[in-house]
Structure 1
Amino acid sequence: MLEAHIKVIPKEDKDASLVTNYRPISLINVDVKIYVKILANRLLPLLPSLISLDQLLFIKSVCLPIGRGESIRLILADNGAKWTEDVIQFADWFGGKCPLKKEAVFGQLPQFSDGDFVLYQSNTILRYLGRKFGEYIAYHCYETGMEKYEKDLPNQLSAFERILSKNSNGTKFLVGDKISYADYNLLDVLHCHLNIFPKPAFHHKVISVNI
């Protein structure tokens, strides 16, 4: 019952004569897998109390108290701000025992409150604190480097044009026959540049890339 048979699986399109081009896999009794799963589920609620705080990131689904909340703590501490924390046990969070999950955007933490003003999503919170403490930089060298940046922008955008031209002659998407996250990222970049350069001439340049 406790025996395991180790097999090796060759990696696709790799030299089979090299040991490093194989993946080992352990084949064990199904009863053992079920037993281990039962033990893991029974221990799950107790893990936060058994494992130190500096090792919580090794527990499934845990992002606090270190994780995504740490950069928020750093900017608060660096600016001499005082704050309190409510750390929610992940067993309570995923077990439906925390009413905050219904209010959280996308059902995720961290949550940040500044008086009655509440924010979710770590990057959103960081942008808010950056503006609050005067540490938010929207565009690098906005005043001194804009003219040079704008002049060189067609060269930078040409890379995207080349990629688009290789897929159905630029009539579809960056890759494949349907939209992907790469298209959304490119659209977000182009929208940012439309805000930076509100001149109609530049809009024509961007639109020609976006089609």
Structure 2
Amino acid sequence: MGGEGFWGRGCRERRAPLTLLCPSLLVPLYNITYYPPLSPAFLPGRYEAIRMLLADQGQDWHEDPLLHDLCEEGEFKTLSQFPKFTDGAFTLYQSNAILRYLGRKHGLYGKDDQECALLDMANDGVEELWLKYLDLIYHHFEQCKNQYVKDLPTQLQPLETLLKQNQGGKAFIVGDQISFVDYNLLDLLLIHQTLAPGCLDTFPLLSAYVARLSSRPNLQAFLASPQHTGLPINGNGKQ
């Protein structure tokens, strides 16, 4: 089913990859199922980092928005379970768990135990800002947007500092190769540039980081595609 009738970024179905027509080709067919826009649990921004990772890594996937009347049945009755992600017969829920799974599977989770721990720490920091952003968007947008934007430099400074600690900010958030955290952070920074244009102007490392990651060929193509552009960022249309 096409997804243009649903709110939220990326709610369009990708064409079935060649594996669907020729199962002998050993390319994974990932599937993402997400909650419909009529639910307050619909947070499509949390899915975009997954799409960015898959696109950048050259992976194919299928997106499956649910009809609203099916969402109260069976496994889909629990709102906290979304998104649902399947890799063949394997099923996983929750955006950060999915990112970590894909990170492990595609070599995007650090080169040793110490880097893995640093990536977990960095992702927790990214998550803190995500939660503040979502609280603003879905609960206090009109009353608190101006104050949120005013306070944003205080929230971004730790990320700039963390980036600087790794090769002077000229590489990734941790280590010398891209990780699942980089996609999560990139998505968060891009949506804040929509919320508050110019918010990275006083953070040269974060600004260069966004430009550097966004220019990766596969990721650049995805960010310029109809799957990403021209669609509301959040389920309630606020951004």
- TM-score, length of structure 1 as denominator length: 0.36
User: RCO higher in 1 or 2 (8 Å CA, sep ≥ 6)?
Assistant: 2
Structure-2-length-normalised TM-score: 0.32
